[in-house]
Amino acid sequence: MRTDERGLAYSGGWLDRAGGLRTDPGWVAARLTDRESVLLPFWQDRCLVSAERVPVRRAAVEARALLAGADETVFLGLDAGRAVFAVDLSGLAQPEALALAGAAEAVDVRGLVGGLAAADAAVQAYAKGLLHWHRGQRYCGSCGAATAARDGGHTRSCTGPGCGRLLFPRIEPAVIMLVEAPGEPGRCLLARHRGAPEGSWSTLAGFVEVGESLEDAVRRELAEEAGVTVSGMAYQGSQAWPFPAGLMVGFRATAVSTEVRVDGEELVDARWFTRAELRARVAEGRSLGRIDSIDHHLLGSWLDARG
Ligand SMILES: [Zn+2]
């Protein structure tokens, strides 16, 4: 799949999230006995798929055992009016979860992305991210009492006496930057990250810290990791990255100079590439970043821009 042809992977899901309906517990409960409702089963962050590696979908009314075996059932949204739920079977042994779901295999959504439409991958990733959040929020961080899901699984509330703390799914934003050199010829900065395979070059990225704007994070990450100062930047797009809770925010930035000084910690090398050099790498069969990532999209857009 070329994500620049089919949209960014994990974005543009087909569900209406129906946020105004999920807060009505009676409505949510009724959907679980509705003939039209659909269940998407998961096991320990993995999608449960058929022998053809298609994610399993089960009619809720025909899968009562599946619901009974679930640690958590969350309302994802409406698909043409039909309620869609994610069901977490993580508490079962894998063979039992597969049998209950009528699945052949449990696989990571990132391993499926080449065979799924971007929007279908988005729904699977959304479900995986939300179920992962539930498993890590069983107890209150303030008083230590158990928490319980509510709002169709989009909130948890503390059950401790006198506490009542509400927990919401957290997103962890990260910035990812395609940095251009000043002047001609057009060149962009790519880096080799510690632990990456030899010859693997990618754009720079980092998590946004508390008290930072996205732009602050771009400037800090580039200065810290590559010794690069930028004169300006422009937002390019974002990508849901619920592995487990990321949001990738893409920028294109222009460097003040071509001087580069890698930190030796996160980055082991960084250098400037012309479009011709990147095209030559593609011609050799090398991928520009992972095909399901915004890194690939940023590089593809830069290559297509001119030259
Ligand atoms: Zn509490």
Calculate how far, in angstroms, residue 212's C-alpha sits from the geometric centre of ligand 1.
Answer: 28
| pLDDT tens digit sequence for 1-46 | 333 344 688 887 789 999 999 999 999 999 999 999 999 999 999 9
Calculate how far, in angstroms, residue 72's C-alpha sits from the geometric centre of ligand 1.
Answer: 20
In this prediction, residues 181-192 reach a mean pLDDT of 94
Calculate how far, in angstroms, residue 150's C-alpha sits from the geometric centre of ligand 1.
Answer: 15
Calculate how far, in angstroms, residue 142's C-alpha sits from the geometric centre of ligand 1.
Answer: 5
Calculate how far, in angstroms, residue 131's C-alpha sits from the geometric centre of ligand 1.
Answer: 21
Percent of the chain with pLDDT over 70: 97
Residues with CB under 5 A from ligand 1 (ion): 140, 142-143, 145, 158, 160, 163, 165
Calculate how far, in angstroms, residue 153's C-alpha sits from the geometric centre of ligand 1.
Answer: 18
Strand (E) or helix (H) holding 8: none
Separation CA 30–CA 282 (nearest Å): 52
| pLDDT tens digit sequence for 194-218 | 888 888 899 999 999 999 999 999 9
Contact in structure between 262 and 227 (CB atoms under 8 Å): yes
Q: Is the pLDDT of residue 163 over 90?
A: yes
Q: Is the pLDDT of residue 126 over 90?
A: yes
How many Å is the Cα radius of gyration of the chain? 22
pLDDT at 257: 94
Q: Which residues contact 272 (CB under 8 A, 6 or more apart)?
A: 181, 187, 188, 189, 258, 260
pLDDT at 202: 93
Calculate how far, in angstroms, residue 163's C-alpha sits from the geometric centre of ligand 1.
Answer: 5
In this prediction, residues 128-135 reach a mean pLDDT of 97
Calculate how far, in angstroms, residue 256's C-alpha sits from the geometric centre of ligand 1.
Answer: 49
b/e map of 42-53 (b: 16 or more CB within 10 Å)?
bbbbbbbbeeee
Strand (E) or helix (H) holding 289: none
In this prediction, residues 154-170 reach a mean pLDDT of 97
Contact in structure between 3 and 296 (CB atoms under 8 Å): yes
Calculate how far, in angstroms, residue 175's C-alpha sits from the geometric centre of ligand 1.
Answer: 33
Calculate how far, in angstroms, residue 145's C-alpha sits from the geometric centre of ligand 1.
Answer: 5
| E-only strand ranges, 89-202 | 105-107, 147-150, 155-158, 166-167, 172-180, 187-193
Calculate how far, in angstroms, residue 155's C-alpha sits from the geometric centre of ligand 1.
Answer: 14
b/e map of 162-180 (b: 16 or more CB within 10 Å)?
eeeeebebeeebbbbbbbb
81 band by pLDDT with thresholds 50, 70 and 90: very high
Calculate how far, in angstroms, residue 209's C-alpha sits from the geometric centre of ligand 1.
Answer: 26
Q: Is the pLDDT of residue 185 over 70?
A: yes
Q: Please state whether beta strands 172-180 and 246-255 pair in parallel, antiparallel, or not at all (unpaired).
A: parallel
Helices (H) and strands (E) in the chain, counts: 9, 15
Q: Is the pLDDT of residue 161 over 60?
A: yes
Calculate how far, in angstroms, residue 171's C-alpha sits from the geometric centre of ligand 1.
Answer: 21
Calculate how far, in angstroms, residue 147's C-alpha sits from the geometric centre of ligand 1.
Answer: 8
3-state per-residue secondary structure call for 205-246: EEECCCCCCHHHHHHHHHHHHHCCCEEEEEEEEEEEECCCCE
124 band by pLDDT with thresholds 50, 70 and 90: very high
Calculate how far, in angstroms, residue 32's C-alpha sits from the geometric centre of ligand 1.
Answer: 29
pLDDT at 231: 94
Calculate how far, in angstroms, residue 139's C-alpha sits from the geometric centre of ligand 1.
Answer: 8
Q: Mean of the per-residue pLDDT values for the chain?
A: 93
Calculate how far, in angstroms, residue 187's C-alpha sits from the geometric centre of ligand 1.
Answer: 53
In this prediction, residues 94-112 reach a mean pLDDT of 95
Calculate how far, in angstroms, residue 134's C-alpha sits from the geometric centre of ligand 1.
Answer: 16
Calculate how far, in angstroms, residue 144's C-alpha sits from the geometric centre of ligand 1.
Answer: 6
Phi and psi (nearest 5°) for 104? -95, -25
Calculate how far, in angstroms, residue 160's C-alpha sits from the geometric centre of ligand 1.
Answer: 5
Handedness of CA 277, 279, 282, 284 (dihedral sign): negative
Which among 111, 150, 120, 110 has a CA at the least distance from the CA of 134? 150
Q: Give the predicted TM-score (pTM) of the model.
A: 0.91
Calculate how far, in angstroms, residue 138's C-alpha sits from the geometric centre of ligand 1.
Answer: 11
